[in-house]
Amino acid sequence: MTDFLYGLLLVIIVIGLFNIMIFVHELGHFLAARWRGLQVDRFQIWFGKPIWKKTINGVQYGLGWIPAGGFVALPQMAAMESIEGENLDKDKLPPVSPLDKIIVAFAGPLFSLLLAVVAGFLVWGLGKPIDSIKSNLVGGVIEESPAEGLLFPGDKILKVDGEPVDGFVGKLNEDIRTRTMLTRGDTIDFEIERDGKVMVVTTKFDIHETGIFQRRALPDPGLMPAGPAVVGSLLKGKGESPAERAGLEVGDQVLKVDGVDVFGTYHVSQLIKKNDFKTATLTVKRGEEVMELTMTPLKPKGDDYQKPLLGISWDRKAMVETEITNPNPWEQIGDSLRTMWLTIKIITAPDSNIGPDQLAGPVGIARTKFLLLQEEHGWLRVLAFFVLFNVNLAVLNMLPLPVLDGGHIVMAILEAVRGKPLPARFLEVIQAGFALLLMGFMLYITTKDLGDIFIGGSEAPELEWPEQAESG
């Protein structure tokens, strides 16, 4: 199968999974409405004018052109003409009780949660991949970053902002990456162990500039995780690279540079630069054999590279451990709820460095699934994400906001308290207003999704390595 056909297949799978989630959610509303005797006008997946529709037993089934959500048109519920279209017969229909409205509104999130449970049982049986970097050691500090001169390779991070951490990546809200990302204010406090002494180091962080249509970057103090420096590939170009001249091979692990222990891939570059880019002696492990190789870094021809390079592309997966776990469905739902609570908590905090623009819309979610499918254990990763997303869909729809299911429940409760329906004009205005706000927010998020996909750095120019004699 060609790369194009394989990519197309993955796109079809992603679209299919997305539609399954929407369909099951709306199916809950549909079945509950039929059970409670409500009139059902339309059952549509995605918003906007239908690009396909078919009427069966008085119900119009359709597919909209805006890939975001779906709806079941119920004229006896709160008015939703801004999304569902006008219903000419709504005034001729008998009213329904507040209890019926609550049941119908609640059925959608309930079905999403049930779908999460079903998927959770599959994950329980098949397994859930967990990627982690278990070391707490600093593997490198980016040049000219806020942490440069404050933290050093080999420092062991014990706490971030007073919270104990376990590993660089892997445990939600307990690893260094997450705690750094969620930091508040303008600085981060790292409690570290260096040469047997425990101390607290306070550093600022960068939020790198991004394009107007891209998401804001996350806080970055400039720390790299510790891990094995394994050669993933040798950079190709015109001429022979320093790595090729030195005799390095794919799979080689660099243990030392000029006798100094290496803590990570970036540390290799730092040690070579510290030597003024002179010929360096590398201690390399190849299989079970340990050898020494000499390498002189060179600067490729052209103005695109200002610093000498080694000609190495490091194997980033070498430091990552993947463990297949088997959490039961209730553990998975609990983890999903904690993830949601953490997300809501951090984006609403006044001193947070993460805002609503970090949320993903339909395009971003679809992209995530597409990328997950290409990873090792891709299907298992997507299945675990499927659980998380359906829990999110259930909980977010229960928020007490007009247009959402939780808003319908609140209005039904108010109707029960008043003893009569809320004013129709009031419902129409508030529903239309929130519908426009929701669509505007989804459009805003979608621009960020598309910006992250299509607006990126330029391709690296072709390398041309100078002759060894030209390096002096």
Q: How far apart are the first and last CA of the chain?
A: 49
Q: Could you tell me which CATH class the domain 229-303 is placed in?
A: mainly beta
pLDDT band at 470 (very low <50, low <70, confident <90, very high): very low
Q: 11 Cβ partners below 8 Å, 6+ apart?
A: 370
Q: CA 285, 290, 295: angle at the middle one, nearest 5?
A: 70
The per-residue pLDDT for range 317-357, each reduced to its tens digit, is 888 999 999 999 999 999 999 888 888 888 888 878 887 87
Dump pLDDT digits (tens) for 46-68.
878 899 999 998 899 998 887 76
β partners of residue 464: 238
Q: What is the mean pLDDT of residues 426-434?
A: 79
Task: Give the whole-angstrom CA distance, residue 300 versus residue 118.
Answer: 55
Nearest C-alpha neighbor of 315 from the set 230, 226, 224: 230
* CA 19/CA 196 separation, integer angstroms: 55
136 vs 321: CA distance, rounded Å? 14
What integer pLDDT is reported at residue 298 of this predicted model? 80
**Any idea what DSSP says for residue 48?**
S
Residue 278 pLDDT > 90? no
293: Cβ contacts below 8 Å, ≥ 6 apart? 246, 247, 248, 281, 282, 284
Top pLDDT among 450 and 253 is at 253
Give the mean pLDDT of 222-238.
Answer: 90
CATH superfamily, domain 131-226, is: PDZ domain (2.30.42.10)
Q: What is the mean pLDDT of residues 78-106?
A: 71
Of 350, 338, 356, the residue nearest 184 (C-alpha): 350
CA angle (231 as vertex; 228, 232 as ends), nearest 5: 110
pLDDT over 80 (residue 246): yes
82 pLDDT above the threshold of 60: no
Tally the residues of the chain: 472
- Residue 458 in this model has a pLDDT that exceeds 70: no
**Amino acid 270: pLDDT:** 87
Q: Given this chain, do its domains 131-226 and 229-303 carry the same CATH topology? A: yes
Question: Comparing C-alpha atoms, which of 97, 74, 95, 96 is closest to residue 84?
Answer: 74
- What is the Cα–Cα distance from 204 to 250, expressed in whole angstroms? 37
469: confidence class by pLDDT, cuts 50, 70, 90: very low
The predicted-structure confidence for 147-190, as pLDDT tens digits, reads as follows 999 999 999 999 999 999 999 998 777 899 989 988 888 899 99
> Which has more confidence, 15 or 27?
27
Alpha-carbon separation of residue 212 from 9, 173, 207, 219, 411 (angstroms):
32, 29, 14, 18, 38
Give me the residue spans of the domains in the chain. Answer: 3-127+374-422, 131-226, 229-303
User: pTM for this structure?
Assistant: 0.81
